[in-house]
């Protein structure tokens, strides 16, 4: 009898094999003779150069908007195209359900989609601006109002000199353009100086929550919602009070609306433009985080001296490029105390390694800043009260108690995010006896880092017990199998109905049964300003010694389950980094005394 995981993997392998075969045939059919002979098509090269000119990179904006660029460079927006987990998931779901096609990349790689890059193009073959994900022009080159259109916004094409659209008028840039020679800027190709956009146009929707909706409220064709943050916000107290997405997510106090800076958005030739204007944070603080190689992300112009593929050969976890390590390594090799390392060809030169190390160390500083912003977002949006004891405190008696988990965020559920498989937020509680021994726990993880629920590989193999009292706020996909029963699935794809499960729209409106047939989402998150009790009971037989006991509690947050990462083919390094970013929030311990027999 096959296990659920074996059954899913067999289906996935079959679908992936078929898709790969078809992909090879299509590729061969589309190749021109020139390309097949190893010669690059001149028209394609010209088109690529033209496209990059019409879709300016963030590195061009950096020269005047240094602070904003630095905030954006490590943001989730900047990470959208680079994310290795996104690519693993996007390829997996297209293999399993080919009807998805270019659905995901419309938001994650908006400029690449606008430039006509194929969905399946590897990230290292894409243009620089495509690798920037939700880059400057993804928002500031949009001049039409869009609603829930699943990422189908149109980026206005044009060279760097074309207008940009913002929440204010363009009086600052107008001042600079009017005296271009004094500010040492170029307003067209024929002039010398720093090339800039020549006009700023006010675009009202950019300040409205509706501007965010097209990428943050997304449903696939069978009616399942992959992004639900808009509908959560739409029904929230924050929306009723008129607080916008931008007021919270562009605040310099993550999750607290309206804390802006006063200062220039642009500094041109060392001089601030509009120094007393209101400044918004482009870090877009949220619960997400990067697991990419720190030479590739955050975005760093100095990193562009090497390709993505070359960076992937740089072992940043080893002290390559650290001057002290390099000195000690060379001395040990010269004295015969150690063998030479076979560095990849591109990293054979010490000075290249040292330059790369500088990039990595700078990027790691930005990542640590992002980690702190993530913690602030999570802790500003949650609170734990308790423990509240529901039984007597006596030896040999069951210990019943509960905590109250409150979502203090007025705008979103706790947790909020995309996909039923993510994000994870669960409660970890442990009871420590007078001798310091952990005698009972709920919310523990297995050897892979997963919760001990019905998806844990260690639970399925019998290595650890199922966590019967687990309190988990993660939303789940529920699919109906051929026997008519519901089961939790990693993806909203019903493997039992079709051998190759195309996602077909329902034949009747979803309003008839209130969800698409054969698949639905089971929300377990806490609504804005709502609360939920986490209820526990410790068997009395474990309370065998009088004295001071301790109850420790924390909530744990992670973007992806490890079992899901393995399902889509993630690497070991990706799993390791995902677990390294696991965040503990609202942690504290209380002491109480058990002094006698009941």
List of domains in the chain: 56-279 (no CATH), 301-373 (no CATH), 381-475+523-594 (2.60.40.2360)
- How many other C-beta atoms are found inside a 10 Å radius of the C-beta of residue 457? 16
Confidence label for 149 from pLDDT (cuts 50, 70 and 90):
low
Name 200's bridge partners. 164
424-432 and 438-442 strand pairing? antiparallel
Taking a C-beta distance cutoff of 8 angstroms, is the pair 440, 554 a contact? Answer: no
Place of tokens 């090269």: 45
pLDDT score for 213: 87
Mean pLDDT of 263-291: 92
Q: Write the DSSP assignment of 395-441 as a string of letters.
A: BTS-EEEEEEEEE--SSS-BS--BSTT--EEEEEEEEE-TTS-EEEE
Q: E strands of 147-206, at which residues?
A: 164-166, 185-186, 194-195, 200-202
pLDDT score for 154: 87
HSE, side-chain direction, 13 A CA sphere, residue 339: 3
Residue 21 scores a pLDDT above 70: no
Closest CA to 474 of 423, 526, 534: 423
Mean pLDDT of 424-453: 97
Residue 532 scores a pLDDT above 90: yes
Closest CA to 108 of 157, 65, 89: 89
Residue 21 to residue 205: CA distance in whole angstroms = 45
Q: Which residues contact 103 (CB under 8 A, 6 or more apart)?
A: 150, 220
pLDDT digits (tens, 9 = 90+) for 57-82: 999 999 999 999 999 999 999 999 99
241: which 2 tokens? 């009070």
Residue 534 scores a pLDDT above 90: yes
Residue 244 scores a pLDDT above 80: yes
pLDDT score for 506: 66
pLDDT digits (tens, 9 = 90+) for 212-237: 988 888 877 666 777 888 889 999 99
Return mean pLDDT, the chain: 86
pLDDT score for 258: 86
Q: Write the DSSP assignment of 426-490 as a string of letters.
A: EEEEEEE-TTS-EEEEES-B-TTS-BSSTT-HHHHTTSS---TT--B---EEEEE-TTS-EEEES
200-202 and 164-166 strand pairing? parallel
94: which 2 tokens? 């297209």
Closest CA to 55 of 44, 45, 66, 47: 47
Q: Which residues contact 44 (CB under 8 A, 6 or more apart)?
A: none
pLDDT score for 12: 42
Mean pLDDT of 482-504: 69
Residue 6 scores a pLDDT above 60: no
Select the more confidently predicted residue: 420 or 60: 60
Residue 523 scores a pLDDT above 90: no
Place of tokens 């070359």: 310
pLDDT score for 11: 43
pLDDT score for 504: 65
Mean pLDDT of 519-537: 92
* Per-residue 3-state assignment (H helix, E strand, C coil) for 347-373: HCCHHHHHHHHHHHHHHHHHHHHHHHH
Taking a C-beta distance cutoff of 8 angstroms, is the pair 515, 526 a contact? Answer: no
Query: End-to-end alpha-carbon separation of the chain, Å?
Result: 49
User: Nearest 5°: phi and psi at 518?
Assistant: 75, -5
pLDDT score for 531: 97
Task: Report the b/e string of 268-292 with b at 16+ CB within 10 A.
Answer: beeeebbeebebbbbbbbbbbbbbb
Select the more confidently predicted residue: 281 or 11: 281
pLDDT score for 495: 63
Residue 296 scores a pLDDT above 50: yes
Mean pLDDT of 370-381: 92
Residue 419 scores a pLDDT above 70: no
Select the more confidently predicted residue: 291 or 231: 291
pLDDT score for 80: 94
Mean pLDDT of 16-25: 37
Residue 396 scores a pLDDT above 60: yes
HSE, side-chain direction, 13 A CA sphere, residue 325: 13
pLDDT score for 498: 60
Q: At what angle do helices 572-580 and 84-96 cross, to 10 degrees?
A: 120
Select the more confidently predicted residue: 204 or 491: 204
Residue 518 to residue 508: CA distance in whole angstroms = 13
pLDDT score for 4: 42
Highest-scoring range by mean pLDDT, 394-408, 466-480, 491-505? 394-408
Residue 49 scores a pLDDT above 90: no
HSE, side-chain direction, 13 A CA sphere, residue 145: 8
| C-alpha dist (Å) from residue 481 to 16, 220, 396, 498 | 22, 20, 45, 11
pLDDT score for 221: 61
Closest CA to 424 of 552, 578, 531, 233: 578
| C-alpha dist (Å) from residue 45 to 38, 49, 63, 125, 252 | 14, 6, 27, 13, 43
| C-alpha dist (Å) from residue 427 to 1, 399, 405, 450, 474 | 34, 18, 9, 13, 11
Taking a C-beta distance cutoff of 8 angstroms, is the pair 69, 298 a contact? Answer: no
Identify the weakest region by mean pLDDT among 283-292, 299-308, 387-396, 419-428.
419-428
Confidence label for 125 from pLDDT (cuts 50, 70 and 90):
very high
Confidence label for 157 from pLDDT (cuts 50, 70 and 90):
very high
Identify the weakest region by mean pLDDT among 177-186, 426-435, 488-497.
488-497
User: Nearest 5°: phi and psi at 262?
Assistant: -110, 120
Residue 299 scores a pLDDT above 50: yes
Name 403's bridge partners. 534
**pTM recorded for the entire structure:** 0.86
């Amino acid at each position: 009898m096959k296990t659920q995981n074996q059954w899913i993997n067999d289906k996935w392998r079959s679908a992936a094999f078929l898709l790969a075969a078809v992909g090879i045939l299509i590729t061969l059919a589309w190749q021109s003779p020139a390309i097949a002979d190893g010669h690059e098509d001149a028209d394609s090269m010209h088109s690529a150069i033209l496209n990059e000119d019409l879709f300016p990179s963030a590195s061009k904006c950096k020269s005047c908007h240094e602070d904003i660029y630095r905030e954006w460079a490590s943001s989730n927006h900047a990470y959208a195209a680079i994310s290795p987990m996104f690519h693993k998931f996007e390829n997996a779901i297209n293999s399993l359900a080919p009807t998805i096609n270019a659905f995901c990349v419309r938001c994650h790689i908006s400029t690449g989609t606008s430039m006509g890059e194929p969905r399946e193009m590897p990230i290292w073959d894409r243009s620089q601006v495509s690798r920037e994900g939700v880059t400057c022009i993804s928002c500031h080159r949009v001049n039409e109002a869009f609603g829930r259109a699943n990422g189908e916004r149109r980026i206005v094409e044009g060279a760097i000199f074309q207008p940009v659209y913002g929440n204010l008028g363009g009086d600052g840039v107008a001042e600079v353009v009017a005296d271009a020679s004094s500010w040492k800027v170029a307003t067209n190709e024929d002039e010398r100086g720093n090339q800039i956009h020549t006009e700023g146009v006010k675009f009202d929707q950019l300040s409205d929550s509706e501007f965010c909706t097209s990428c943050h409220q997304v449903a696939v064709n069978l009616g399942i919602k992959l992004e639900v943050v808009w509908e959560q916000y739409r029904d929230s107290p924050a929306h009723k009070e008129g607080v916008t997405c931008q007021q919270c997510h562009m605040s310099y106090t993550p999750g607290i609306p309206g804390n802006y800076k006063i200062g220039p958005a642009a500094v041109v030739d060392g001089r601030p433009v509009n120094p007393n204007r209101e400044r918004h944070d482009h870090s877009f603080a949220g619960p997400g985080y990067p697991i990419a190689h720190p030479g590739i992300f955050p975005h760093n112009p100095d990193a562009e001296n090497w390709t993505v593929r070359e960076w992937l050969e740089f072992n940043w976890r080893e002290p390559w490029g650290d001057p002290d390590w390099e000195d000690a390594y060379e001395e040990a090799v010269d004295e015969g105390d150690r063998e030479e390392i076979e560095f990849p060809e591109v990293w054979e030169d010490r000075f290249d390694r040292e330059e790369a190390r500088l990039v990595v160390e700078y990027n790691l500083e930005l990542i640590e800043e992002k980690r702190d912003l993530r913690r602030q977002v999570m802790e500003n949006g949650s609170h734990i009260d308790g423990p509240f004891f529901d039984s007597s405190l006596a030896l040999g008696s069951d210990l019943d108690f509960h905590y109250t988990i409150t979502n203090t965020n007025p705008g979103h559920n706790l947790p909020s995010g995309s996909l039923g498989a993510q994000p994870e937020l669960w409660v970890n509680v442990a009871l420590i006896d007078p001798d310091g021994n952990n005698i009972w726990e709920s919310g523990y993880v297995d050897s892979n880092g997963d919760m001990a629920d019905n998806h844990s590989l260690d639970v399925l193999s019998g290595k650890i017990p199922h966590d019967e009292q687990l309190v988990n706020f993660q939303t789940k996909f529920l699919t109906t199998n051929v026997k008519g029963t519901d089961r939790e699935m990693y993806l909203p794809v019903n493997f039992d109905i079709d051998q190759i499960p195309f996602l077909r729209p329902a034949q009747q409106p979803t309003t008839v049964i209130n969800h698409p047939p054969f698949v639905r989402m089971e929300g377990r998150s806490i609504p804005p300003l709502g609360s939920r009790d986490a209820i526990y009971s410790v068997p009395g037989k474990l309370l065998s010694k009088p004295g001071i006991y301790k109850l420790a509690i924390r909530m744990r947050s992670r973007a992806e389950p490890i079992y899901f990462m393995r399902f889509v083919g993630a690497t070991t390094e990706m799993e390791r980094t995902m677990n390294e970013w696991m965040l503990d929030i609202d942690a504290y311990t209380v002491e109480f005394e058990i002094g006698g027999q009941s």
